[in-house]
């Protein structure tokens, strides 16, 4: 199917010539001889040209006025204006209202073809981004939070309510793996900022000394190694949503600056006094009890109260186990489609073991389990042997005792080793025995990969993952 190019030109010979040239170049070229005809094509007949090549001054008005009327109705492609009376004010206005280029007549045919090619490339990229945004918006609706249980219904109801109101700040709490990231995406893509950027960062993944520069940006020379200007995440999310995972890991000084940015809607890059206006929604998530942190003075009280104006608590999977009946088939279907498998049957024994398990890693742990089982399945039956939910059925080996030094670890309890040192020692030893494999180590320690990676980052350990 040919891409459409609209020519708006009132000179009959020039208009016919342009239409023929572009048709010969592989376009579905359409000609309009005045603004009224062009507006009928765009607004009434819903013509969707990839590129519009338009004379600036036409018998019934200025083509830039038409572009300003058409833009709010949706994408009308990239516009290239041609004029015999070009000037700086006209070119400035054309670029301000979103024109791709502004060329003076007479324009060399070869140059015009090059400009049209560039405009087509830009328009295709914009259409692709718009389509991706549309798909995300249709995917991330409140119904994307799956479950029939009462807690799941309450979360969906709250997501629907929050998506309809213009929240500037919101706090999502819950254990790891409960779907805090999914909730943040639903609130963005189902809300009034759906067409704007969604920017996210986990505050526990960056060294604390780099977090301020990452959030607020910096100018060249702001600190050693800052060789050029950098737009911070607050700038990048302007007009949209900034999602801050594990906000409890921010330093108090950075928390105070973040609060000021939210309140004043202004951000100042490191290394400059110039402030930039911003308009965004900040969604923060945490597994920590921030109220306790506030009482201890390790979390900024004003920031907590600003974020907690709107609050959403994500329930753990162990409190809504009836949702397994919806989540398990959903994940199996996704993995079947992704991996080319055909697992369709779930034996009763699998259902019993899943229902008896407490799911410390919540929905994320369930999805990882499904991925493993679908990948290792030999046929249409969901395999019980790969569940790895504690002791396997029929295993007669007793659990190793605490004194079994060949498969254990000795830690003194005489006060010579702190709890943090014990945790670090356990992680170091477990990782070393498992070849620094995070996945295997997490499974053997009975925790999730996310919790293990958090410990690895906390103590500065190295892994093969």
Q: What is the pLDDT along the chain (465 residues), one digit of tens a residue?
A: 789 999 999 999 999 999 999 999 999 999 999 999 999 999 888 888 999 999 988 989 999 999 888 887 766 689 999 887 766 677 777 777 788 888 888 888 888 999 999 999 988 888 887 777 666 656 789 999 999 999 999 999 999 999 998 889 999 999 999 999 999 999 999 999 988 889 999 998 887 778 989 999 888 877 777 777 888 999 999 999 999 999 999 999 999 999 999 999 999 988 888 888 999 999 999 999 999 999 999 999 999 999 999 999 999 999 999 999 999 999 999 999 988 899 999 999 999 999 999 999 999 999 999 999 999 999 999 999 999 886 444 433 333 333 344 566 767 665 556 777 788 888 888 888 887 888 888 888 888 887 888 888 777 776 655
Peptide bond before residue 239 is cis, with ω within 30 degrees of 0: no
What residues pair up with 102 in beta bridges, in sequence order? 81
Are both 258 and 146 inside the same structural domain? yes
Q: What is the DSSP letter of 382?
A: P
Are both 113 and 85 inside the same structural domain? yes
230 falls within a domain: yes
Residue whose C-alpha is closest to residue 168's, from 264, 322, 279, 331: 279
Residue whose entry in the numeric block shows the structure tokens 């104006």? 309
Are both 147 and 275 inside the same structural domain? yes
Residue whose C-alpha is closest to residue 106's, from 185, 181, 11: 11
Are both 89 and 149 inside the same structural domain? no
How buried is 342 (Cβ within 10 angstroms: 0-12 exposed, 13-18 middle, 19+ buried)?
A: exposed
For the chain, give percent helix, strand, coil, nearest 5: 50, 15, 35
Q: Structure tokens of 212?
A: 């301020």
**SS3 (DSSP) at 8:** strand
Instruction: Read off the pLDDT of residues 205-247 as tens digits, 9 standing for 90 and up.
Output: 887 778 989 999 888 877 777 777 888 999 999 999 999 999 9
| Other CB atoms within 10 A of residue 346 CB | 17
294 falls within a domain: yes
395 falls within a domain: no
| Other CB atoms within 10 A of residue 456 CB | 20
Check residue 392 and give its pLDDT.
Answer: 45
Are both 202 and 287 inside the same structural domain? yes
Question: Which CATH number covers residue 334?
Answer: 1.10.8.60
98 falls within a domain: yes
454 falls within a domain: yes
Question: Which CATH number covers residue 452?
Answer: 1.10.10
Residue 149 CA to its chain's centroid (Å)? 27
465 falls within a domain: no
398 falls within a domain: no
Question: Which CATH number covers residue 58?
Answer: 3.40.50.2300
Dihedral sign for Cα atoms in the order 302, 172, 230, 130: negative
Q: Structure tokens of 298?
A: 């390790």
160, 322, 416, 428 from 403: Cα distances, Å? 53, 39, 20, 20
Structural domain ending residue among the three candidates 313, 340, 375: 313
Are both 123 and 164 inside the same structural domain? no
Q: Is the pTM of this model over 0.75?
A: no
Pairing of strands 266-268, 275-277: antiparallel
Are both 165 and 303 inside the same structural domain? yes
Structural domain ending residue among the three candidates 296, 313, 330: 313
Q: Residue 426 is part of which domain span?
A: 408-458
252 CB contacts (<8 Å, ≥6 apart)? 298, 299, 300
DSSP 285-320: EESS-HHHHHHHTSS-HHHHHHHTTSEEEPPPGGG-
130, 177, 336 from 333: Cα distances, Å? 27, 20, 5
Indicate the number of domains in the chain: 4
Check residue 134 and give its pLDDT.
Answer: 64
Integer Cα distance of 441 and 451 in angstroms = 11
Q: What is the DSSP letter of 398?
A: P
| Other CB atoms within 10 A of residue 105 CB | 13
Check residue 405 and give its pLDDT.
Answer: 45
Question: Which CATH number covers residue 249?
Answer: 3.40.50.300
Are both 234 and 163 inside the same structural domain? yes
401 falls within a domain: no
Residue whose C-alpha is closest to residue 205's, from 464, 453, 465, 462: 453
Are both 382 and 429 inside the same structural domain? no
Are both 50 and 80 inside the same structural domain? yes
Are both 309 and 161 inside the same structural domain? yes
Q: Structure tokens of 2?
A: 């040919």
Are both 181 and 279 inside the same structural domain? yes
Structural domain ending residue among the three candidates 291, 313, 335: 313
């Amino acid at each position: 199917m040919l891409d459409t190019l609209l020519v708006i030109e009132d000179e009959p010979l020039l208009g016919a010539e342009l239409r023929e040239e572009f048709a010969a170049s592989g376009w579905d070229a359409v000609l309009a001889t005045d603004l009224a005809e062009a507006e009928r094509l765009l607004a009434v007949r819903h013509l969707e040209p990839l590129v519009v090549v338009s004379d600036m001054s036409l018998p019934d008005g200025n083509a830039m006025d038409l572009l300003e009327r058409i833009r709010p109705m949706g994408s009308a492609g990239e516009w290239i204006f041609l004029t015999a009376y070009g000037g700086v004010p006209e070119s400035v206005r054309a670029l301000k209202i979103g024109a791709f280029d502004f060329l003076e007549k007479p324009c060399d045919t070869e140059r015009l073809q090059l400009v049209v090619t560039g405009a087509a490339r830009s328009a295709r990229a914009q259409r692709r981004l718009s389509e991706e945004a549309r798909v995300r918006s249709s995917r991330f609706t409140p119904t994307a939070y799956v479950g029939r249980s009462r807690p799941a219904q309450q979360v969906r109801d709250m997501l629907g309510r929050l998506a309809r109101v213009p929240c500037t700040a919101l706090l999502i709490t819950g254990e790891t793996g409960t779907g805090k990231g999914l909730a943040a995406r639903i609130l963005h893509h189902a809300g009034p900022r759906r067409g704007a950027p969604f920017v996210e960062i986990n505050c526990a993944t960056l060294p604390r000394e780099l977090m301020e520069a990452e959030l607020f940006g910096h100018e060249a020379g702001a600190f050693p190694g800052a060789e050029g200007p950098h737009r911070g995440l607050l700038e990048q999310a302007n007009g949209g949503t900034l999602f801050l995972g594990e906000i409890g890991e921010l330093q108090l000084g950075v928390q105070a600056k973040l609060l000021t940015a939210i309140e004043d809607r202004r951000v100042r890059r490191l290394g400059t006094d110039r402030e930039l206006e911003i308009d965004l929604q900040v969604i923060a998530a945490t597994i920590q009890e921030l109220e306790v942190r506030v009482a201890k003075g390790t979390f900024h009280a004003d920031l907590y109260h600003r974020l907690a104006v709107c609050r959403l608590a994500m329930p753990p999977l162990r409190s809504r186990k009836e949702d397994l009946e919806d989540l398990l088939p959903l994940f199996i279907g996704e993995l079947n489609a992704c991996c080319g498998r055909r697992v369709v049957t779930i034996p009763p024994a699998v259902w019993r073991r899943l229902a008896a398990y407490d799911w410390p890693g919540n929905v994320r742990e369930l999805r990882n389990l499904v991925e493993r089982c679908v990948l290792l399945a030999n046929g249409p039956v969901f395999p019980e042997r790969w569940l790895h939910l504690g002791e396997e059925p029929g295993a007669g080996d007793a659990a190793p005792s605490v004194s079994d030094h060949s498969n254990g670890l000795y830690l003194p309890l005489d006060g010579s080793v702190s709890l943090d040192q014990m945790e670090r020692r356990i992680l170091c030893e477990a990782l070393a025995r498992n070849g620094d494999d995070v996945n295997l180590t997490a499974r053997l320690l009975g925790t999730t990969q996310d919790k293990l990676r958090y410990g690895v980052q906390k103590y500065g350990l190295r892994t093969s993952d």
